[in-house]
């Protein structure tokens, strides 16, 4: 009898322990689903990945990638570039990240509001996330209902190349035909957001002042990289102009062929004309519609020639300065050399 009573108590004890263990497990599971596997933590991990420049993690977070229909809805081509999805491209990521609200909606989705700092600006963004099938049937999983990916329309003015962070990109990469030759290129790029990007360009011949662009989630932003000639570019064009004018002075004629200066003389010319340059036009370049342009700019050539008057037969040495003007366009060939077209 006593033995039976002990057996019953033992069973009750083990059952109670099992209930306690199940309750503890469910409590721990609930805690995990509210914290580590909660909607707030999902958003916070995404923002932290950007802050740590872990772009591989950020870009593969569920709900970040855009499908063809979503791209079409954004008005960007299906082959839009994702070249900016890499480390060392973002200038500044979100800092001081904290979740300020997490509201559960009637359909089971959550609206999670995060506060963070982008450089000196304090920003609040609400992310809509929805549940996925639980991990192992127990642990919550989430995805963005609306992708936080941003679209950046990059206008590369006067050069197809630009830099963003440590990356150099060519805006012509996905273009064909006449679009390849455009002096100014406009191309959309997908970008991880929120983040601050710095755009610019620097080469031997062209440079653009760096431009910082803060980009918020699910936004469309625009930036212009305005490339202008460097001092080296101007010097090289100046050297070509000087060489061209110098070659003109080697022609012992009154009107050197293909040259911007010359003279008509009524008297008889009795010696070879000698041309020299008094002052060369000073090259300045500004962006035009299809190339860099130098406006009509004055120079002065000098001619020295002996003449005989048709009136009285007297001989004299004619010394005359001849002002002239040159205008030109300059562009960079694919091989990096400079092409000049006189106007």
Is residue 292 in a domain? Answer: yes
Range of the domain at 115: 37-228
**List of E strands, the chain:** 90-92, 95-104, 110-118, 121-135, 139-144, 150-157, 161-164, 167-170, 184-191, 195-202, 206-215, 220-226, 228-229, 268-269, 274-279, 286-287, 292-308, 315-332, 338-342
Same domain, 220 and 242: no
* Contact by Cβ (8 Å): 286, 292: yes
Tokens of residue 221, six digits: 């932003």
238-292 residue pLDDT tens: 999 999 999 999 999 999 999 999 999 999 999 999 999 999 999 999 999 999 9
Same domain, 67 and 197: yes
Bridge partners (DSSP) listed for residue 143: 130
Same domain, 235 and 213: no
Please report which helix (H) or strand (E) contains residue 72, including its range: helix 68-74
Is residue 100 in a domain? Answer: yes
Is residue 2 in a domain? Answer: no
140 vs 68, which has greater pLDDT? 68
Same domain, 249 and 321: yes
pTM: 0.84
Same domain, 134 and 162: yes
131-188 residue pLDDT tens: 998 764 556 899 999 999 999 999 999 999 999 999 999 999 988 888 898 999 999 9
Which residue, 228, 246, 275, sits at the end of a domain?
Answer: 228
- What is the C-alpha separation between 98 and 47, in angstroms, rounded? 10
Same domain, 43 and 141: yes
């Amino acid at each position: 009898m006593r033995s039976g009573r002990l057996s019953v108590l033992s069973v009750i004890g083990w059952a109670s322990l099992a209930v306690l263990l199940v309750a503890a497990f469910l409590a721990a599971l609930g805690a995990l689903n509210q914290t580590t596997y909660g909607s707030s933590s999902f958003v916070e991990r995404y923002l932290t990945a950007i802050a740590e420049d872990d772009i591989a993690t950020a870009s593969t977070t569920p709900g970040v990638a855009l499908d063809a229909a979503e791209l079409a809805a954004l008005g960007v081509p299906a082959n839009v570039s994702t070249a900016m999805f890499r480390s060392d491209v973002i200038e500044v990521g979100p800092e001081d990240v904290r979740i300020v609200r997490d509201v559960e909606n009637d359909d089971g989705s959550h609206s999670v509001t995060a506060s963070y700092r982008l450089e000196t600006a304090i920003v609040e963004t609400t992310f809509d996330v929805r549940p996925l099938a639980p991990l192992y049937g127990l642990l919550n999983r989430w995805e963005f209902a609306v992708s936080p990916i941003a679209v950046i329309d990059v206008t590369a003015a006067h050069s197809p190349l630009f830099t963003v962070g440590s990356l150099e990109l060519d805006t012509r990469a996905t273009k064909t035909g006449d679009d390849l030759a455009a002096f100014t290129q406009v191309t959309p790029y997908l970008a991880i957001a929120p983040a601050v990007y710095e755009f610019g360009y620097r080469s031997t011949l062209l440079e653009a002042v760096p431009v910082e662009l803060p980009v918020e989630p699910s936004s469309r932003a625009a930036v212009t990289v305005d490339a202008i000639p460097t001092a080296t570019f101007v010097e090289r064009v100046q050297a070509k102009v000087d060489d061209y004018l110098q070659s003109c002075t080697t022609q012992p004629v009154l009107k050197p062929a293909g040259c911007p200066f010359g003279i008509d003389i009524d008297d008889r010319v009795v010696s070879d004309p000698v041309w020299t340059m008094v002052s060369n036009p000073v090259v300045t370049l500004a962006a035009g519609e299809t190339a860099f342009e130098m406006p009509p700019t004055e120079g002065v050539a000098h001619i020295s020639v002996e003449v005989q008057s048709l009136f009285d037969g007297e001989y004299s040495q004619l010394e005359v300065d001849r002002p002239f003007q040159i205008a030109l366009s300059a562009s960079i060939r694919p091989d990096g050399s400079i092409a000049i077209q006189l106007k």
